């Protein structure tokens, strides 16, 4: 019988057939005894005190909340019993179940809690690159499926490369000059409309990489307005000096692209250009009504406001003769690459805001010589960074380099997976996963002599983060034995590290724990942090393999600034960032502020 018991344990059958369940760690036992005041049960009032004093949950000051949690924990733990469970409180075992529950005791707040009324340029925005690709950058299919998947995850910026079809009468989405099979633009737009706000009410921005003729730009304008209707945000004026806020733009779709070439050159006249026929007028976006010469610097195109002294409806100026808004007037976040040297490209203009796109390599050159200029630019304007062209397998760069310089749109290939994407997922678990994360104050401040934050400056330690890894559970449910070593029990260890500015980077790991699907480590690590505001806590679990590479056994990435103190249940994710059903760690987080 002993041989069979060990065999069952090794193959990872359910707990009732041999997987032992570890008891509560000593810290859990001690805190239970302290708050239960020597009794065998924790009452609702004692649970409430624990949540406030140990877990730092200031909002948990209601007895009703504590009673509700107590009842739900007991119901989940004992619902299969025919005898009615006692309501006197939580036993030590029940208390352990509560702490180990991701639903009741998560490491992050699951609601929007940051200020959402600042301009868009004050936020990091969840941004994808070539959002329509299903795989590699050269030969994969183009589809709306990866767009839908990304939107459901919380993505807020979708990139579409738009090209004419072979007959030049319709618009396709594809990666130009490659073997990627196209998808119709209208299909992508309809899918965006359907799924844009499934994960977040905050605005979705569509960036068009535009390779169209004026005729097809007009067609796109019609497609966009007919598809999105009232969801579409029209810029109030070309004189915009500041972007609107995420709160103002709830449930809105915004378009960001380069203005048509006609508008990059000064026009000889502000009057309507004469064409031979209405058909010719329909074929160009430059035929629109404008303010008269005296008010031409206003050029307001809003549906809701008009230049002072106009005696016609403002919407008339937005409409083309064909009835569709001009393509140019759909662009609420204008993009472009100004001519001149890099410092000129990063020039901040008082009277307007814009979006600048830089490839990963150009961005690296920019921060090497003009790091503070980049930070200053992003205080008002939007900077988008995208992967270099040689990443044909849809790999990614380290997004933290962009965030620490204030870049709002750090675009990654969402269809891939790997550590860079894990960091992206971690950053945008902040603020309830709404896709907009308020930039730290230090990135927005301007000091004496026009000084801004310099990421190269070594700063003193500001915060010490203490992380204790107690134990883990769920591998016997989410993994099969064949995922690990077939001939011996699993031997799990955990790596815990910080991703952030250079001074804060550090990785540590626990000892290996052999022979149990519920490993207990009970080890604490200390991380001194100089810039905790943009630091990310990386956690990976591996199963040790003596002869080959260790087996992956789960990961997560958590924003340090959002970590809830106390003893927490931390869910783990697979390589693609999808949450496991049962896999989780029990960890403790503690912050020590440093006086300097």
Q: What is the pLDDT of residues 90-114, one digit of tens each?
A: 999 999 999 999 999 999 999 999 9
Angle subtended by helix axes 185-195 and 214-228, to nearest 10? 30
Look at residue 104 and tell me if it is in a domain: no
Whether residue 345 sits in one domain with residue 199? yes
Residue 178, domain member (yes or no):
yes
CB 535 within 8 A of CB 561: yes
Structure tokens at 66: 């504590």
Residues 393 and 491 reside in one and the same domain: no
**Is residue 112 situated within a structural domain?**
no
Question: What distance in Å separates the CA atoms of residue 264 and residue 257, rounded to the nearest whole number?
Answer: 13
Q: What is the CATH number of the domain that holds 195?
A: 3.20.20.190
Q: Are strands 513-514 and 436-438 parallel, antiparallel or unpaired?
A: unpaired
Whether residues 488 and 549 share a domain: the answer is yes
Q: Note whether 477 and 387 are same-domain residues.
A: no
Q: Please answer whether residues 565 and 108 qualify as being in contact, where contact means their C-beta atoms are separated by less than 8 angstroms.
A: no
Same domain, 303 and 367: yes
Q: Domain check: are 210 and 187 in the same one?
A: yes
Averaged confidence pLDDT in the chain = 85
| Same domain (yes/no): 298, 149 | yes
Q: At which of 443, 471, 486 does a domain end?
A: 443
Q: Is residue 105 part of a domain?
A: no
Q: Is residue 552 part of a domain?
A: yes
Phi, psi angle pair for 17, to nearest 5°: -105, 15
Tens digits of residue pLDDT in 195-220: 999 999 999 999 999 999 999 999 99
Residues near 27 by beta carbon (within 8 Å), at least 6 away in sequence:
468, 470, 567, 588
Strand, coil or helix: 409:
strand
Measured at the CA of 410, the angle between CA 407 and CA 416, to 5 degrees, comes to 165
Q: Judge if 172 and 78 occupy the same domain.
A: no
On whether residue 449 sits in a domain, the answer given is no
pLDDT in tens, 52-76: 999 998 776 678 889 999 999 998 8
**Domain final residue pick, 412, 443, 474:** 443
Contacts of 93 (CB under 8 A, 6+ apart): 24, 77
Report the predicted TM-score, pTM, of the whole model to 2 decimal places.
Answer: 0.86
Beta strands 204-210 and 253-257, pairing class: parallel
C-alpha 574, offset from chain centre: 17
- CA 20: distance to chain centroid? 37
CATH number at residue 572: 2.60.40.150
pLDDT of res. 314? 41
Domain-embedded: residue 54: yes
Instruction: Say how many C-beta atoms besides its own lie within 10 A of residue 341's C-beta.
Output: 9
What gap in Å lies between CA 534 and CA 441, rounded to an integer? Answer: 11
Considering the domain architecture, whether residues 92 and 173 belong to the same structural domain is answered as: no
In a domain, 452, yes or no: no
Q: How far apart are CA 360 and CA 413, in angstroms?
A: 13
Show the tokens assigned to 302.
């809003």
Asked which of 443, 478, 496 is the last residue of a domain, the reply is 443
**What confidence tens digit (pLDDT) does each residue in 374-398 have?**
999 999 999 999 999 999 999 999 9
Whether pLDDT at 292 is above 80: no
Task: Indicate whether 418 and 465 sit together in one domain.
Answer: no
Task: Indicate the number of domains in the chain.
Answer: 3
The SS3 call for residue 217 is: helix
Sheet holding 253-257, edge to edge: 183-184, 171-173, 157-164, 204-210, 253-257, 331-334
For residue 345, give the H/E element and its range. helix 342-345
Place of tokens 């690296």: 364
| Residue 240 confidence (pLDDT) | 74
What tens digit of pLDDT does each residue of 489-521 get? 789 999 999 999 999 999 999 999 887 889 999
Query: Which sequence positions are flagged as catalytic?
Result: 129, 175
- 3-state SS of 150-202 is HHHHCCCEEEEEEEECCCCCCEEECCCCCCCECEEHHHHHHHHHHHCCCCCCC
User: Residues with Cβ < 8 Å from 82, sequence gap 6 or more?
Assistant: none
**Same-domain check for residues 246 and 371:** yes
From residue 411, how far is each of 359, 387, 407, 431, 500 by CA, in Å?
A: 10, 7, 10, 19, 18
Same domain, 10 and 78: yes
47 is in which domain, residue-wise? 2-99
pLDDT band at 9 (very low <50, low <70, confident <90, very high): very low
Phi, psi of 377 (to 5 degrees): -60, -40
325: DSSP letter = B
**Contact, 394 vs 418, CB < 8 A?**
no
The DSSP code for 326 is P
């Amino acid at each position: 019988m002993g041989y069979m018991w060990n065999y069952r344990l090794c193959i990872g059958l359910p707990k009732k057939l041999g997987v032992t369940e570890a008891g509560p760690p000593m810290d859990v036992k001690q805190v239970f005894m302290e708050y239960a005041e020597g009794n065998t049960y924790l009452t609702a009032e004692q649970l409430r005190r624990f949540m406030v004093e140990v877990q730092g949950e200031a909002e948990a000051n209601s007895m009703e909340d504590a009673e509700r949690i107590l009842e739900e924990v007991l119901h989940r733990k004992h619902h299969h019993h025919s005898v009615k469970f006692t309501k006197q409180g939580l036993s030590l075992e029940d208390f352990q179940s509560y702490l180990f529950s991701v639903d009741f005791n998560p490491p992050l707040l699951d609601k929007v809690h940051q200020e959402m009324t600042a301009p868009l340029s004050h936020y990091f925005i969840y941004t994808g690159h070539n959002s329509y690709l299903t795989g590699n950058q050269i030969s994969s299919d183009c589809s709306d499926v990866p767009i839908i998947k990304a939107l459901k995850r919380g993505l807020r910026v979708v990139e579409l490369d738009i090209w004419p079809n072979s007959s030049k009468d319709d618009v396709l989405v594809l990666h130009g000059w490659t073997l990627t099979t196209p998808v119709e633009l209208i299909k992508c737009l309809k899918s965006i409309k359907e799924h844009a706000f499934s994960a977040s009410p905050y605005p979705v921005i569509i960036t068009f990489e535009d390779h169209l003729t004026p005729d097809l730009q007009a067609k796109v304008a019609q497609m966009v307005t007919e598809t999105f209707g009232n969801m579409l945000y029209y810029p109030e004026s070309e004189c915009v000096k500041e972007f609107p806020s995420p709160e103002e733009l709830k449930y809105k779709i915004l378009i960001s692209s380069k203005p048509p070439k006609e508008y990059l050159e000064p026009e000889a006249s502000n009057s309507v250009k004469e064409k031979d026929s209405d058909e010719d007028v329909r074929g160009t976006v430059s035929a629109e009504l404008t303010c008269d010469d005296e008010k031409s610097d206003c050029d307001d195109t809003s549906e809701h406001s008009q230049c002072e002294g106009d005696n016609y409806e403002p919407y008339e100026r937005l409409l083309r003769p064909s009835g569709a808004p001009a393509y140019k007037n759909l662009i609420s976040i204008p993009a472009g690459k100004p001519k001149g040297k890099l410092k000129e490209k990063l020039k901040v203009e008082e009277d307007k805001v814009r979006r600048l796109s830089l490839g990963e390599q150009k961005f690296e050159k920019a921060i090497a010589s003009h790091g503070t200029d980049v930070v200053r630019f992003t205080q008002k304007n939007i900077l988008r960074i995208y992967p270099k062209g040689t990443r044909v397998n849809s790999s990614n760069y380290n997004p933290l380099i962009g965030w620490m310089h204030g870049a709002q749109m750090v675009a990654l290939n969402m269809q891939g997976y790997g550590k860079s994407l894990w960091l992206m997922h971690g950053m945008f678990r902040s603020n309830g996963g709404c896709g907009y994360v308020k930039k730290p104050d230090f990135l927005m401040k301007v000091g004496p002599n026009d000084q801004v934050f310099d990421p190269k400056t070594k700063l003193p330690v500001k915060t010490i983060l203490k992380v204790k890894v107690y134990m883990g559970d769920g591998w016997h449910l989410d993994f099969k034995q064949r995922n690990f070593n077939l001939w011996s029990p699993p031997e799990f260890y955990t790596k815990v590290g910080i991703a952030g500015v250079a001074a804060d980077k550090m990785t540590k790991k626990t000892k290996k724990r052999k022979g149990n699907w519920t490993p207990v480590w009970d080890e604490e690590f200390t991380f001194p942090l100089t810039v905790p505001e943009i630091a990310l806590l990386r956690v990976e679990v591996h199963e040790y393999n003596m002869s080959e590479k260790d087996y992956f056994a789960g990961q997560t990435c958590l924003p340090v600034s959002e970590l809830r103190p106390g003893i927490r249940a931390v869910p783990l994710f697979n390589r693609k960032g999808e949450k496991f059903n049962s896999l989780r760690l029990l960890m403790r987080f503690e912050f020590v502020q440093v006086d300097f």
